[in-house]
Amino acid sequence: MKSTKWLLFWVMILMVLLLPDVIYAEANVPLKVTYIENTTPAKMRVGNQTLIKLKIMNTGSEVWNKDEYFISYHWLATDGSPVMYEGPRIKLKHDVIPGTDIQTDIRIVPPAKEGAYILQWDMVHEGVTWFSKISKDNTDQYQVTVVKNNVRTFWFILFGILLLSYFFILKKISK
């Protein structure tokens, strides 16, 4: 009984001595991003580019060098499986030091097939790692429904109306 008390005593002493280092390590994560604002729409059209404004903050301890760090995204199925994992790299306008934010406009193209998807924003330290591989807290996800592009349908209808009008006018003129 006495040895159990001593064991607990030494375990508590070690915890008190080691706990500040664990807390500091959590607060001093080198690669961390916080997504502040973005205009990801709930619906996009197949084949159409969508302009999205994105504002992110460097909440890690490393400087994001504009030539090594990029904003990117992944398209996932609703079950989380990748549809398009390697999204294009969006270059940062300038280096981003810890505690500062950056805003950028990004043009994205949805998957070519209609359906429900997840757009997952992510940062990448090129040639090193995706931020999402370090922590899922480093991503921002949005449910997006991709719908058929109705532009062709509109032009076919307009062409049909013009063609019918032309024949109607020719018929009236020939009378």
Looking at the DSSP bridge assignments, the partners of residue 53 are 105
If asked whether residues 8 and 61 sit together in one domain, one would say no
If asked whether residues 167 and 136 sit together in one domain, one would say yes
If asked whether residues 59 and 143 sit together in one domain, one would say yes
If asked whether residues 71 and 112 sit together in one domain, one would say yes
Residue 161 has a pLDDT of: 76
If asked whether residues 169 and 113 sit together in one domain, one would say yes
**CB neighbours of residue 117 within 10 Å:** 22
Q: Which residues of the chain are modeled with pLDDT < 50?
A: 20-26
Looking at the DSSP bridge assignments, the partners of residue 115 are 146
Whether the CA torsion 131, 136, 139, 143 is positive or negative: it is positive
If asked whether residues 68 and 6 sit together in one domain, one would say no
**CATH assignment of the domain containing 95:** 2.60.40.770
If asked whether residues 40 and 19 sit together in one domain, one would say no
Residue 29 has a pLDDT of: 83
If asked whether residues 43 and 99 sit together in one domain, one would say yes
Residue 154 has a pLDDT of: 60
Q: How many domains does the chain have?
A: 2
If asked whether residues 120 and 141 sit together in one domain, one would say yes
Residue 61 has a pLDDT of: 94
- Structural domain containing residue 125: 31-174
Residue 24 has a pLDDT of: 37
Q: What is the pLDDT of residues 90-114, one digit of tens each?
A: 999 999 999 999 999 999 999 999 9
Residue 22 has a pLDDT of: 38
Residue 27 has a pLDDT of: 54
If asked whether residues 16 and 99 sit together in one domain, one would say no
Q: How far apart are CA 81 and CA 76, in angstroms?
A: 5
Residue 149 has a pLDDT of: 81
